[in-house]
Amino acid sequence: MKAFLMYRNRDFDPQQPLPPNEEALRQDLELDTLFEAMAQEDAFLSKIVKKAVLSGENDLEVIRYRQHVLKDCLHKPEVVREIYDITVQSHDNKKKHWLGIFTRYPGGILSSAIGMLEMFVGLLKKLRRIAGESAGKFESEGFTRFFAMITQELDDAYFSVVENHLHDLKFRDGVLLSAELGPGNEGAHYVLRKPNQSGRGWMKRVFSKKAPVYSFSIPRRDDSGARALGKLKDRGINLAANALAQSADHIDCFFNMLRVELAFYIGCLNLYGQLARIQAPITFPVPAASGERRHHFTGLYDVCLALTLQKSVVGNAINADDKDLVIITGANQGGKSTFLRSIGLAQLMMQCGMFVPAESFGANVCSGFFTHYRREEDASMQSGKLDEELGRMNEIVSRITLDSIVLFNESFAATNEREGSEIARQIVSALVEKGIKVFFVTHFYEFAHGFFEQGRPNIMFLRAERRADGVRTFKLTPGEPLPTSYGEDLYRTIFEGGRGAACAPGAKSRKYRNTSGV
Amino acid sequence: MGFHSILFEKTTDGTKRETASVPEFFADLNLDQIVDRITAGRQVYRLKPFFYTPLRDIQTIAYRQETMRDLQDETLLAHIKAFSEKMVNMRRYLAMIERLYYKLHQQGWFLEAVEIYCDAVRSLSHDLSRSGIRSRGLMAFRAYVAEYVQSDAFTALAADTQKVKNDLSTVKYCVRIKGDHVNVRRYAGEINYSVEVEATFRKFKQGAVKDYKIELPVQSGMNHVEAQILDLVAKLYPEVFSHLDHFCAQHRGFPDETIRVFDREIQFYVAYLEHIAKFKCAGLPFCYPRVTRRGKEVYDDQGFDLALADKLLADKSPIVCNDFYLKGKERIFVVSGPNQGGKTTFARTFGQLHYLASLGCPVPGRRAQLFLCDGIFTHFEKVEDITNLRGKLQDDLVRIHAIIEQATPDSIILINEIFSSTALQDARVLSRKILERIIQLDLLCVYVTFIDELASLGAQTVSMVSTVVPGNPALRTYKIERKPADGLAFAISIAEKYRLTYDGLKERIPS
């Protein structure tokens, strides 16, 4: 029995390794804010949503499958949460009462296993009830199949078979074992047998009456005999206990698996709740194949910034369809990094099947997703900053594939503009020619201008807006790169308390950057 | 001619067959380590007495070399090993019976022992009949086994065993335990309960789960409750158990003596081949030496110290092979050169090669001709003995004197760095005198020394020098080369290491 809520025909693997650049992605996109909103301080949810978000899919079918399941969840959140609670209960009960089955005696294992199975049976009945009530109210393929399976597999007849076993296996009538003779005439191949029922076949009964039965009893005071007999009995109980304990494990794994598959959606429900509260819009994205070049959206905002500020934030509308390279230039603290982050977050969210923070959104999926940000905090490293940056670039390149996306944020700025631009130009040109989509935030005029001069149709230029009075709008608009980054504004704001940018809180740690442009 | 022994062709020729004590030179040559490693895990066969006994005649060496060559066929070796393994189990069962209490239990294990013996012998006979063996020893043994397997005694034994086994395998019974009470009766088709339980819950299965079966200790042996049950089972199947009883009475003294001896002696070869297999895997060569009694021209290409190679292999360090030859009048290798360069190893290798060849074994090297000596004498410095220098010098002289007295022209003498703690002038004089005595004896000798000039003492001496990597004397090559002793190359390499050569200084000093 499988839940198949994450994939049409396979399990979601919670043990799958995170991508090697997980740390960079978390740091650069401030993913922890997103994860916290989804997990709501639940460690298990946190673990699963991280895996799900960071191991996105580039199969459009899978993305759409999850989108449908998620739509059902948004539609009937209380039912989904109730099912999830059953799985949590199963886990908590097991943890509370059976700290792992298990003693070192077959008898102990047997009674633990029976107790645990009885508990599971109760939860399974509850699950069956919900499935019965919900049939017809869910539309997605995933949930429809799941409920049908539960109703069919866990019918009344099944529960009665299970309860009979749990009764008989307490062995109130003794243990029956069959055996053969192994090497040295020692008893071997012990098998636990179910006594032939007296009602079954008169022929057998007549026959067995004639069969001789020999017997003996262990005398009261023969302790070693009693121990030996106990050991033999344990052989039988061992087999039953194993079968039952493994069965209990199977059900436990079933609930666990169900919990894993639902956890992602519960995370989405949590996030949805938070965004609804601040009236931030969401939309289900339209994914395009990885070979296409699509990126068009309206009202795309940085969900992490919105969650941090607890209010809806300015969104951007851009149509970058058919573009391989998007170069973003313009005012410091004009929303470039925020924009880049919103691109990254939307991409990850789309590819794991979530809704995205926008009014509308469509993009091609990518086969690999990378970020390359300039790291201020690494300044003290002995190996040298440019060395460190190129080292990270080397790691990215060693794993990059066709139709990946790379987000660069002020990369290769550890050296002077001329060298940095040249390095960036060579790297970016090569990546684009190798079929990799690039978003590049830079204050290197030489670099940006160089590409602008080429005048190629697959390159787009965006600029952080600054009104004539120096105030930033945090909106990006298509526009030619300009030779200065307006660091002066920032300088003035900070040193002279003059007019200028309202400080964007999302960029707090990057306040003093790029003063080299002054 | 009938088969007698796989180690000795002739029945009685006065040859010494086994020696209980370790030869004196074993420790100096690290042969003790080698033999320990070869015989490890085979204590039960008592193989060391064979390895302590060098052969004195070329024929027996040839007899063994032939057998060894045959056994290099991996299929044949595998067959022999399979045979031995079965014999091991047979002995284990027979030994176990001695310790058992209950008659039916003993009889059960006796039956197992006989069965495995029959299987061992029959498989061996079959396997030998299909293998292309060419050695006198194995061919004679093959004929012996073939005849034995056909004999009435063996065929009856095998047939009886099979019959009793088949009967016992039909026994299937049920035990019901309730409280203190035990019922025993024949099995009547009751269904397997674990399977049914497993089937009921299989639908929840997501993957493999833990095995909760507790490892209930399976002791060979039987407690009195099991014995009581077995007695009742015997009552359920009276005929089967009376056959078993009869069988045991009839076949008491079953293992054939010649087979038993072969099982032990063949291990000499198996053990050796198994030991050298890992060296061969590492690409080290072995060969069957030509062993001579006349003429003292010896050579070995790509030889190495088998004991050292074992250690190096374990450490995954490279193993260095060395060549040597003695021609015409040449008798004595005088080995000099930097320390830790493989001089002692060279001496040991020379001794090991000759000893192993005298056992009839293949030796390290690509091709070799070795001398069948009448004795090996070693005099190796033991550093920890230096307590009293004058006592030590005296002791050294007494020992070397005893060696020279005992040695014959057919002996081999290996001398390693004696007089190293003596005043140089004394050491020179004494060494020279001793070497002159050895030259007179006209015997084969390796003389490891720090005194270069010994190398050119006469036509009988050949100078061998340990070498270093040019430019880095700290790196030993462990190559021992046949060339004049010459300290100069060594000095120059040290200069190179510190870049104090002409060229080096030109480079370093800025102009």
Whole-number pLDDT of residue A484: 59
- Mean pLDDT for chain B overall: 86
ipTM value, please give it. Answer: 0.72
Nearest Cα of chain B lies from the Cα of A394 at a distance, in angstroms, of 34
Continuous segment of H or E residues that includes residue B402? helix B389-406
Nearest to B109 among A104, A184, A192 (CB): A184
| B190–A194 CB contact, under 8 Å | yes
Q: How much is the average pLDDT of A4-25?
A: 93
**pTM, entire model:** 0.60
The domain made up of B282-508 is a member of CATH 3.40.50.300: yes
What is the rounded distance in angstroms from the CA atom of residue A159 to the CA atom of residue A128? 11
If pLDDT is split at 50, 70 and 90, which confidence band does A111 have?
confident
Task: Say if residues B136 and B65 touch (Cβ distance below 8 Å).
Answer: no
Mutate one of B90, B204, B232, B237 to test the A interface: name it (highest A CB count within 10 A): B204
Nearest to A246 among B209, B216, B220 (CB): B209
| A186–B171 CB contact, under 8 Å | no
Whether the predicted pLDDT of B509 surpasses 60: no
* A215 in reach of chain B (CB within 8 A): yes
Whole-number pLDDT of residue A496: 55
Whether the predicted pLDDT of A237 surpasses 80: yes
Whether the predicted pLDDT of B134 surpasses 60: yes
Nearest Cα of chain A lies from the Cα of B81 at a distance, in angstroms, of 23
Whether the predicted pLDDT of A377 surpasses 50: no
What residues of B are in contact with residue A239 (Cβ under 8 Å)?
Answer: 193-194, 213
pLDDT single digits (tens) A31-64: 999 999 999 999 999 999 999 999 999 999 999 9
If pLDDT is split at 50, 70 and 90, which confidence band does A167 have?
confident
Whether the predicted pLDDT of B102 surpasses 90: yes
| Closest by CA position to A113, among listed A101, A100, A125 | A101
Whole-number pLDDT of residue A416: 61
| A240–B194 CB contact, under 8 Å | yes
| A208–B188 CB contact, under 8 Å | yes
Whole-number pLDDT of residue A499: 47
pLDDT single digits (tens) B432-485: 888 999 999 999 999 988 777 788 888 899 999 887 666 555 566 788 888 877
The pair of three-digit structure tokens given for residue A157, joined into one six-digit string: 């007849």
* B198 in reach of chain A (CB within 8 A): yes
Whole-number pLDDT of residue B171: 96
* A209 in reach of chain B (CB within 8 A): no
CA angle A117, A119, A120 (to 5 degrees): 65
What is the rounded distance in angstroms from the CA atom of residue B283 to the CA atom of residue B445? 29
Q: Which of A351-360, B2-11, B157-166, B332-341 has the lowest mean pLDDT?
A: B332-341
| Single-letter amino acid code for the residue at B219 | Q
Q: Which of A15-19, B137-141, B182-186, B450-454 has the lowest mean pLDDT?
A: B450-454
If pLDDT is split at 50, 70 and 90, which confidence band does A290 have?
very high
Task: Say if residues B174 and A176 touch (Cβ distance below 8 Å).
Answer: yes
If pLDDT is split at 50, 70 and 90, which confidence band does A378 have?
very low
Q: How much is the average pLDDT of A189-198?
A: 82
- State the pairing for strand pair A459-466/A472-478: antiparallel
Start and end residues for every CATH 3.40.50.300 domain found in chain B:
282-508
Whole-number pLDDT of residue A105: 80
User: HSE of B129 in the Cβ direction (CA atoms, 13 Å)?
Assistant: 12
| Closest by CA position to B145, among listed B75, B73, B80, B71 | B80
Q: A445-454 vs A417-433: helix axis angle to the nearest 10?
A: 40
Q: How much is the average pLDDT of A372-384?
A: 54
| B185–A212 CB contact, under 8 Å | yes
| A246–B210 CB contact, under 8 Å | yes
B residues 219-248 closer than 8 Å to A (CB): 220, 222-226, 228-230, 232-233, 235-236
**Higher confidence at residue B178 or residue A98?**
B178
Nearest Cα of chain A lies from the Cα of B17 at a distance, in angstroms, of 39
If pLDDT is split at 50, 70 and 90, which confidence band does B493 have?
very low
| B169–A180 CB contact, under 8 Å | yes
Task: Say if residues B6 and B67 touch (Cβ distance below 8 Å).
Answer: yes
Assign 3-class secondary structure to A182-248. Answer: CHHHCEEEEEEEECCCCCCCHHHHHHHHHCCEEEEECCCCCHHHHHHHHHHHHHHHHHHHHHHHHHH
Nearest Cα of chain A lies from the Cα of B98 at a distance, in angstroms, of 13
| A231–B216 CB contact, under 8 Å | yes
Nearest Cα of chain B lies from the Cα of A91 at a distance, in angstroms, of 15
Estimate the share of chain B in helix, then strand, then coil, as percent rounded to the nearest 5: 50, 15, 30
Q: How much is the average pLDDT of B240-252?
A: 93
Mutate one of B96, B201, B220, B235 to test the A interface: name it (highest A CB count within 10 A): B201
What is the rounded distance in angstroms from the CA atom of residue A405 to the CA atom of residue A436? 6
Region at A4 (left for phi over 0; alpha for psi -120 to 50; beta for the rest) = left
What is the rounded distance in angstroms from the CA atom of residue B148 to the CA atom of residue B152? 9
| Single-letter amino acid code for the residue at A234 | D
